[in-house]
Every structure is written in structure tokens, then in C-alpha cells.
Structure 1
Amino acid sequence: MSRNLFSSIEDMMESHNEMMPFSGAILVRDQDKTFEQSYGYANRSEAIPNHPHTRFGIASGCKIFTSVAICQLVQDGKLSFNTYVKDCLDDSFPYFDSNITIHHLLTHSAGNPDYFDEEIMGDFEELWKDYSMYSMLSPKDFLPMFQNGRMKFSPGERFSYNNAGFILLGLVVEQLTGMEFSEYVEKNIFQRSGMLDSGYFRMDQLPERTAIGYIDGDQTWKTNMYSLPIKGGPDGGAFTTVHDLGRFWDALFHYKLLSQEYTEILLTPHIHEEGQTYYGYGVWIRIVDDTIFKYFVMGSDPGVIMQSSIYAKSRIHAHIIGNINNGAGMIASKMDEIIYKEFK
């Protein structure tokens, strides 16, 4: 089965790259057999190619790490999913609904204001005209961008993707543990998963084997150095590899990060987004023919694109990370078609 699967994926990638050249790395794993490939350059100026072990930014793909961290704290009895956010944080949020719970934040259903509202905003770079991207070093640094905003809707009313909600979850982690958010995740998730190439690296202190993100324009390009917060946090911005993503999913499904009970809670389709797509806690879930087809995370920032999937029936892994603005979603959709036909 793997040979046919990998041959189909290789053919698909060749066809895709003829139309829209991808820059990044791909890893597909079926049991103990793998297909891995890399494309384009990690550093265009120095003509350094990407590699399957290159580190890439994953934008919102790391919201699942924040959700795992919260679930760990719930499992340890430090709070519950029904705990009110106002009871967890010392900061002032004068116009926030007092009924917002941890569950609401985890499922993008709290209705709180966002610092980058993807329903009405399209250019992430515009944020840094009023706020210095160099000053964004911790979750608290984002508070002036949304803490005095008005509610969008009542808690639990509907799904509305919200980055600020995950900033609040990161603050909860910091307040309950006394640790910096990035330190907590690196110790309690990355290290326990064996993700030794992953971290919340500063954009101006990237380690070896890290791809630079590129924003392509008409006949020109630029790096994303001034387009993103200087350091990632609870809502996005970690760096990892396709192999480390595989290690994360393995650790999650083998209950090394959470008990079976809390892993299942994390992976439950808690809220419907649209069509076949649902959301758990920090994870997207696609349901086809009344059955969970796959669990996945995805992310997009200027110069960053990714999708990482586990197919529920076959347990096939498919991890796609790029250092450009597009491609991962299209490639993942084509992989979905191939895997659905193989295992339906």
C-alpha cells in the first residue's frame, strides 16, 4: 500500500510544482515507511536548499501546543474547562463578558475582541505600523492591542477564529505555573515528545537549519523579518520540522502528553466551523460520511504556510511546512483525495 501511496504523492507533487513551485518540506508516513522530500531554498541569498530536517515557522499550527498545555493543567486539577477566565487572570478586561470560560477560548467561541480579526482583516503586516514587532516578546505584550475592545458576540454563540483568545490561554498557563509560556511548552511538550529541533526562537536569533520566510511580489521578494512578532507565543510562531511534527502526534496518540481521557477530550469535535470541518481544542477535525476522516492543524503568516494531518482510520501522517505564502493547503487537499481513495 505504501508504495502505491507514495508513488501517487510523488506524482502529485511533480504536477503541483509545475504549476506553482513549492518551497518547504513534506513528510508522509504510513506505518514504518516514509516519503520525505524538500523543495526550494531555506536561504535564497546564499542558495541554501531546504531539507527534510530544516526548521520552519508554523504560525497558528502551534495553537494545539497551547491547548495541550491547558489540558495538562486541567488534568492536574489546577482549573477546569468551565472555569471563568476572569477567575484566572489578574489583568483588566473592562468590556469582556464575565461568562467567558476556558472552553470558550479553546473553541474560538468566546466572542472576545481580537487583535487580528481574520473575519475582517487580511494583512497581518498592517499591525506593526502601530505596534513595534520588536516589542512582542511575551503574551502580555499583546494585551494593549485588544484588552479594551468590545465583545463581538455572547460567549458560546458561534465559532469565530480568534488569536487573542489563545493569548489569554497563554496568560493562564503563565499565571498558574509561574513559568514563561514558551518555557512551559518546551519543557512539558517538546521535550516529552522528543521534539529536539523545535522552539519559540526569536526572529533575530534563529538557530542553524532554520528556513527564512519569504514574501513574493511581482518580480521581487522580501523576507518576513519585519512582518511577524519577534518571538512566537500561545497563538502562533513556534519553529519545528516535519519530523518533529510526527513526533508530536506520536506522543499525543500514545498518551505521553495527556491521559487517554484528556487526549480524547482534546480531539472531540466540540464545535462546527462549516461544511465538513469541526474544531476540537486547538485542532481541526474533518468529518466525512459521518466518520472522522482526519485531525489536522494549519497555519499561515507572511512567509509561513503549513498543514499537519493524522488520518483517523489509517493513522497515516502527512506534514507539510513551507517558507512561502501558499501551497500547503492545496497540497494537503490533494493528499486528502489520494488517501480517501486508498482507504475508503
Structure 2
Amino acid sequence: MGNLQEKIESLQNEIQFSGTVIVAQGGNEIFNGNYGYANRGDKIRNQLNTKFGIASGCKIFTSTAIGQLVEQGKLKFDSKLKNFISIDFPHFDPDITVHHLLTHTSGVPDYFDEEVMDDFEELWINVPMYHIRSLKDFLPLFQNSKMKYQAGERFSYNNTGYILLGLLVEELSGQSFDEYVMEHIFKRAGMEDSGYFELDRLPSMTATGYIDFEDGSWKTNLYSVPVKGGSDGGAFVTAPDMLKFWKALTSHSLMGRETTEQLLTIHETEKDGLSYGYGIWIEKVGQVLQYMLMGYDPGVNFHASFYPEQDVQIVVCSNGSRGAYKILSLVQEEILSQYR
């Protein structure tokens, strides 16, 4: 692994990557590296147990929660949203199903539409980010908006769909979404250092997110993202905890085999060939099957890839806005090129 370490450190210096990298194979950690600062002002360095925001990388927790409720008989993947939620959405297609929401094919109005919007901070002009502390706080951003297209018509990545899934979890479980995930996913997986934390009261060993500018200056992401994440994104994890999650998921400690396979089955394929399961991206490059989690927010950059046939897991967490994918790609090439 010495050669890999040298290459990562060289790339890190080139792109000024800030974060943590961990690589495991066959259940054993074969590399970890920590770079940059969790807190730049106080010069506190990132460590292996530093907690990082992962933005949309945590949609897999939402799909897992839904899968658990399906196993409990509280709903089905083909259940219609309108039959299980008490909130009124006057313009929504009555035929929207849980499957549509999980696969980004629902057509519901996205509160942050990545097809037409590129500045996340514009969202908070009318609904300040410091008011977003629960899933229902997102409702003014989309509740009375019109559908983008008919349910099931096409794939279009959609954050609102995962907010709706989180609201379903709350209604069917009687718990807040974050309480449910903490009890039924994080605790069962042994993810002791992960959680849904508020940006204005972060626990110790949590990295602050930084937004860098071309002139070398920077600011934190405190006023750029919701103060507390939800079912569409915003959890904080450590890199080792993500390895624990994957082990718990694939060993069927969180759900049975059949339900787990539903999450990890290709349900939709984008025009560029990248496919989607329930809360997770899926791709096959040559002979290598790859499951991917990724998340991007201002001051957050996260990539995790899992290769079941080679029993390899790579997790890259960053408290900057870029660099994680380049680090991941380098590790992929070093570890997996022999299998392609």
C-alpha cells in the first residue's frame, strides 16, 4: 500500500483535498489516510473518527428505513403515497407510489431542481436555512407546487421524493425520521459516531464544511445548507461507520435477503448508462460491479463505492466542495484495474 499512499498524497497536495480515505478488502482495512483540517481556524486536523456531512450519500438510509417498514407489513413498495400520508398535496399525481419516490420517477416538484438550478443558496431567500430543523419544515418549498411530469414517465433525480419518504417513515413509525434511523439503522449497524446533527450545535470530532474561492479565501457552509439534514441528505458519518453500514446491509442485519436485494437491484438507468436501485447508484465497468453512494453540497463532498465480487470497499469523506471523486478514481485504478 506504500505506492497507493504516495499517489494519494501527491494528488491530495495537487487538489488540496481535505478529508478521510479508507479502503477495506475481505473484511480487513488495507489503507486509511486523513488530510487537511476539520476546523481550519483552530488548526484541528481531520482524523479517522472525524464525522463528515455526506449530503445525498445518506439516501440509502432512507431506502433502508422504507424496506424495514415493508418487512413489518406497514406498506408495500407499490403502495400509493396518498393512502399513507396525512399531509395534503393538492397538485400531486394520485398514482405516485413508494417505488416512484425511491427511484426518482415520481415527477413531484423538486425543492432543489438540479436540472434548472445551480446555486443551492438561492433556496434560502424565502425560507431561511436556519428554520429547516425537521422534515415538515421543507413543506413550504414544494407542497403547493405542480408536478414536473406524470408519475413513472422518466427518471429525474429528485430530493423532494426522499423528503416524502422520510415523512412516510415518521407517520408509520411514530418517531421522528432521525430518531428512527438512529435506533433501527445506526444502532443495529454499530455506527456509534454517526447521526443527524444541527450545524449550529455540532458535537465534538465533527468537520466543519468549507467553501473555497478562486482567490484562496473561504467561508463555512453554515448559511448554505439546512441547519439539520433529513431524509434526502445531510447525515454525518465517519468513514469507518460507512464500512459498518455496508457490512450490516449485505449481511442482512438490517433487512432480510429479499428486501435487501430490492434495494440493490437496478430499477432505472440514466441516459449515460449509470443505473439506480433504491437509494444507491449501480454501475458495471468491464467485469466489475460497483455500488455507489455520493453526495454533494456546498462544503460537502462524499463518495463511497462497494465491489461485492472483489469484496472491496472504498469510502472518501470530504469537508470541502470537491476532490472526493478524484481520490476515489485513483484508488479504484490502483486496487481494481486487475479485475477489469
- Note the C-alpha offset of 1:18: 3.3
Cα shift readout 1:152-185 (whole Å, capped 9, x = no counterpart): 1111111100000000000000001110000000
Q: 2:200 — aligned with what?
A: 204
Structure 1: tracts of 5 or more residues without a match: 1-5
Secondary structure class of the residue paired with 1:317: strand
Q: How does 1:91-170 map to 2 (within 5 A)?
A: 91-170=87-166
Q: 1:240 and 2:240 equivalent?
A: no
The residue type equivalent to 1:36 in the other structure is N
- Note the C-alpha offset of 1:8: 4.6
Q: 1:41 and 2:21 equivalent?
A: no
Q: 1:77 — aligned with what?
A: 73
For residues 320 and 313 of structure 1, do their structure 2 counterparts lie closer, same or farther at Cα, with a shift above 3 Å needed? same
- Note the C-alpha offset of 1:92: 1.1
Q: 1:311 — aligned with what?
A: 307
Alignment partner for residue 5 of structure 2, among 2, 10, 19? 10
Alignment partner for residue 281 of structure 2, among 266, 280, 284? 284
- Note the C-alpha offset of 1:74: 0.5
Q: 2:210 — aligned with what?
A: 214
Q: 1:274 — aligned with what?
A: 271
- Note the C-alpha offset of 1:292: 5.8
State the TM-score, normalizing by the size of structure 2: 0.97
Separation in structure 1 between the aligned mates of residue 305 and residue 239 of structure 2, nearest angstrom? 11
- Note the C-alpha offset of 1:339: 3.3
Q: How many residue pairs were aligned?
A: 338
For residues 117 and 8 of structure 1, do their structure 2 counterparts lie closer, same or farther at Cα, with a shift above 3 Å needed? farther
Decide whether the 8 Å contact of 2:288 with 2:339 is kept in 1.
Answer: no
Separation in structure 1 between the aligned mates of residue 288 and residue 151 of structure 2, nearest angstrom? 27
Structure 2: tracts of 5 or more residues without a match: none
Separation in structure 1 between the aligned mates of residue 17 and residue 5 of structure 2, nearest angstrom? 13
Decide whether the 8 Å contact of 1:276 with 1:288 is kept in 2.
Answer: no
Q: How does 1:61-76 map to 2 (within 5 A)?
A: 61-76=57-72
Cα shift readout 1:252-283 (whole Å, capped 9, x = no counterpart): 01100010111111100110023341000000
- Note the C-alpha offset of 1:13: 1.0
Secondary structure class of the residue paired with 1:152: coil
Q: 1:225 and 2:225 equivalent?
A: no
Taking only aligned residues, the RMSD between alpha carbons, in angstroms, comes to 1.2
The residue type equivalent to 2:326 in the other structure is M
Cα shift readout 1:69-95 (whole Å, capped 9, x = no counterpart): 000001111000110011111111111
Cα shift readout 1:173-211 (whole Å, capped 9, x = no counterpart): 000111000000000000000000000011111111001
Q: 1:26 and 2:9 equivalent?
A: no
The residue type equivalent to 2:159 in the other structure is N
Secondary structure class of the residue paired with 2:337: helix
Q: Which moved further from structure 2: 28-37 or 295-304? A: 28-37
Decide whether the 8 Å contact of 2:8 with 2:330 is kept in 1.
Answer: no
Separation in structure 1 between the aligned mates of residue 153 and residue 333 of structure 2, nearest angstrom? 33
Q: 1:333 and 2:329 equivalent?
A: yes
Secondary structure class of the residue paired with 1:37: strand
Q: 2:251 — aligned with what?
A: 254
- Note the C-alpha offset of 1:125: 1.1
The residue type equivalent to 1:244 in the other structure is D
Decide whether the 8 Å contact of 2:22 with 2:29 is kept in 1.
Answer: no
Secondary structure class of the residue paired with 1:321: strand
Separation in structure 1 between the aligned mates of residue 109 and residue 305 of structure 2, nearest angstrom? 29
Secondary structure class of the residue paired with 1:204: helix
Decide whether the 8 Å contact of 2:48 with 2:240 is kept in 1.
Answer: yes
